[in-house]
Amino acid sequence: MANLQTEYPRPQFQRDKWLNLNGEWNFSFDDEQAGLKEKWYQSFPKAKTINVPFAYQASNSGIGDPSFHDVVWYHRTFSIPEEWKGQQIILHFGAVDYQAWVYVNGEQAAFHQGGNVPFSMNITHLLSEGDNQLTVRVVDPSEDVTIPRGKQYWHEQSASIFYTRTTGIWQTVWLEPVAATSIDRLRWTPDIDQGNIKLEAEFTGELINTELLVNVFFQGRKIISEQIGLYQYYLKRSFDIRGRFTDRSNIHGPGWYWTPEHPNLFDVELQLVSDGEVVDKVSSYFGMRKVSVEDGKFMLNNKPYFQKLVLDQGYFPGGLLTAESDDSLKQDIVLAKEMGFNGARKHQKVEDPRYLYWADRLGFLVWGEMANCSEYSEDAVERISAEWAQAVKRDYSHPSLVVWVPLNESWGISRVAREKQQQNHSLAMYYLTKSLDTTRPVLSNEGWEHTISDICGIHNYRSAEEMAEAYQTVESAVSTTPANRPIYASGFNHQGEPILITEYGGIAYDVKESDQPNGWGYSAVNSGEDLIDGYSRMTKALFDSPAVQGFCYTQLTDVEQEINGLLTYHRKPKCDLKAIKQINDSK
């Protein structure tokens, strides 16, 4: 049985007491949709078992069935620890794809739609002494191309650039106790120009005679300790960071800024005190860094920074979208850094927060990307907009996350090049993101057919020679038509934003690790040496370009039939990783 992801699943808002509900659950397909009529939420039928949080399609679930089952049910029992009595009990789901109805002891506790983001509910009023029954009904329309599905294919067998689907629970399920008066949300915004960190916090419950104690630590040393009286449910407070350091001569290096080379983090302890009693304690952290766009360059902490990214699909051979363990998430970052990459574009996946935790800790840039719909409709617009807003809200405080990508390659907006309605959707997603986060660049439509965008991301799988010719100047770069698509949609043009080649390469080298027939890539080689040579020539063409400010190579690992990874699906190197690092380090 695979590792059940035992680490606390919300690392920037962590409490000491919690109960992990991963593990063996009862499980049933409901192809005849009999569950509601027969009230399975009150009496669950004899069923299979499943290993949560792995989807039934994944082998680690214990089922491993890729066929269509659009309605599934889960059930397990749980009991509340004795020491939690008198507390509010919150039930959390990291992610459930796509629609979820949650029942506790036969009563509906919540409904949630959206397969990529978390949701929670207070279940205190539904609990009984001793064993409690938890039932989840999931509906995931396998062939509906107007839901945000990313790389999940709408056919039973994966093919081309699309992979096996994920239905149901695919991230950690857990319980935690909180007091009636508690901290509900945190948001950290660094301002290195002013040298301060802004804390925004929200609270629930009665705030009479209530204070928030904030302690900030850097490398084990307490640098801030403040006691703040609370008079409303929203708090905004800035704390001076720069003034806590007497030696500021090297703040851009190993001082106190966050960079991939020096991922400095500040640890935070927050205590909510009501009438002299500590009623809630939360641990958090933040990083002091700034990302911006100036004069056609991407800037990190007010200095130009060349991004050397790798495309990462976030798929795992036994778990699909779900990593086998926390170490699996960490390992992908470690391996990428060993090859000299300073970041990843998480492709068509809102990644598990534990991945972002390790990116924060290890020093690794992340482009946060939404799983897109495949076709356009009014329902698609409503679904992706709502879920994307939740994703931005969830991940706002991670210093590693530096760019937002709501749309990719005109997926779900196939007529955006000329159709005003779809152009307006691209603009709406851009401005929606900017309305939620003013601190990060946003791409309107990654790859081509941009509308308004802070970065011009271009996808180009042509040869090294063709790319060298295409990217001699900014003008030649934005006039190219890779994949026969214009870089800008009709009525829009380049406004001086940085140009990055955000997909290229895709060199297939089949090391016969899997039994997938008809493996493919955008080009092919027959040895690790040829893979290194192809990577070198393509990447040198981008390094030599005066117009290109960064790149994202396709891709980190093989995924099912797509065998164009630098690593196999099981994370085994296909070539000498030190050679890849030497190439990346040449600029």
User: Helix 577-584 to helix 528-543 angle, to the nearest 10 degrees?
Assistant: 10
Query: 152-203: per-residue pLDDT in tens?
Result: 999 999 989 999 999 999 999 999 999 999 999 999 999 999 999 999 999 9
Query: Contacts for 325-330 with beta carbons within 8 Å, 24 or more apart?
Result: 325/2, 325/3, 325/5, 326/3, 326/5, 326/6, 326/7, 326/354, 326/358, 327/3, 328/3, 329/354, 329/355, 329/358, 330/358, 330/362
Query: Contacts for 143-146 with beta carbons within 8 Å, 24 or more apart?
Result: 143/68, 145/373, 145/374, 145/375, 146/373, 146/374, 146/375, 146/376, 146/377, 146/379, 146/380, 146/383, 146/412
Contact predicate 244/203, CB 8 Å? no
Cα radius of gyration rounded to whole Å, the chain: 24
What is the CATH code for 19-178? 2.60.120.260
**What's at 347, amino acid-wise?**
H
Q: How far apart are the first and last CA of the chain?
A: 44
Residue 422 has pLDDT above 70, yes or no: yes
Q: Where are the domains of the chain?
A: 19-178, 182-286
Residue 5 has pLDDT above 70, yes or no: no
Q: Which of 389, 185, 204, 370 is nearest to 279 (CA)?
A: 204
Give the Cα separation of 148 and 377 in Å (integer).
12
Residue 118 has pLDDT above 90, yes or no: yes
Contact predicate 401/343, CB 8 Å? no
Q: Which tokens belong to 320?
A: 């699909």
Q: Does domain 182-286 have CATH number 2.60.40.10?
A: yes
Q: Which tokens belong to 284?
A: 């958090």
Residue 357 has pLDDT above 80, yes or no: yes
Partnered with residue 283 across adjacent β-strands are 14, 269
Query: For the residues of 280-341, what is the DSSP string, one character each?
Result: EEEEEEE-B--EEEETTEEEETTEE--EEEEEE---BTTTBTS-SSHHHHHHHHHHHHHTT-
Query: 362-406: per-residue pLDDT in tens?
Result: 999 999 999 999 999 999 999 999 999 999 999 999 999 999 999
pLDDT attached to residue 1: 40
pLDDT attached to residue 587: 86
pLDDT attached to residue 46: 84
Residue 246 has pLDDT above 80, yes or no: no
**C-alpha 155 chain-centroid distance:** 25
Residue 252 has pLDDT above 80, yes or no: no
pLDDT attached to residue 330: 97
Q: What average pLDDT does the segment 281-308 reach?
A: 97
Backbone angles phi, psi at 109, to 5 degrees: -100, -30
pLDDT attached to residue 514: 67
Q: Which tokens belong to 138?
A: 């999931």
Q: How confident is the model at residue 248 (pLDDT cuts 50, 70, 90)?
A: low
Q: How confident is the model at residue 517 (pLDDT cuts 50, 70, 90)?
A: low
Query: How does the average pLDDT of the chain come out, rounded?
Result: 95
Query: 458-505: per-residue pLDDT in tens?
Result: 999 999 999 999 999 999 999 999 999 999 999 999 999 999 999 999
Backbone angles phi, psi at 456, to 5 degrees: -95, 100
Residue 104 has pLDDT above 50, yes or no: yes
Domains 19-178 and 182-286 share a fold: no
What SS3 state is found at 430?
Answer: helix
Residue 2 has pLDDT above 50, yes or no: no
H helices, E strands: number in the chain: 8, 31
Query: 309-352: per-residue pLDDT in tens?
Result: 999 999 999 999 999 999 999 999 999 999 999 999 999 999 99
Q: Give the position of tokens 């067998």.
A: 157
Q: Which of 134, 164, 135 is nearest to 60 (CA)?
A: 164
Query: 55-85: per-residue pLDDT in tens?
Result: 999 999 999 999 999 999 999 999 999 999 9
Give the Cα separation of 155 and 67 in Å (integer).
9
More confident residue, 5 or 434: 434
Query: For the residues of 540-579, what is the DSSP string, one character each?
Result: HHHHT-SSEEEEEEE-SB-BTTB---SB-TT--BSS-HHH
Nearby residues of 308 by Cβ (< 8 Å), 6 or more positions away: 340, 341, 342, 343, 550, 551, 584
Query: 29-48: per-residue pLDDT in tens?
Result: 999 999 999 999 999 998 89
pTM: 0.95
pLDDT attached to residue 254: 57
Q: Which tokens belong to 245?
A: 């350091």
pLDDT attached to residue 244: 83
Q: How confident is the model at residue 6 (pLDDT cuts 50, 70, 90)?
A: confident
Cβ count near 284 (within 10 Å): 22
DSSP state of 17: -
Contact predicate 210/230, CB 8 Å? yes
Residue 516 has pLDDT above 70, yes or no: no
**C-alpha 329 chain-centroid distance:** 12
**What's at 325, amino acid-wise?**
S
Give the Cα separation of 494 and 271 in Å (integer).
49
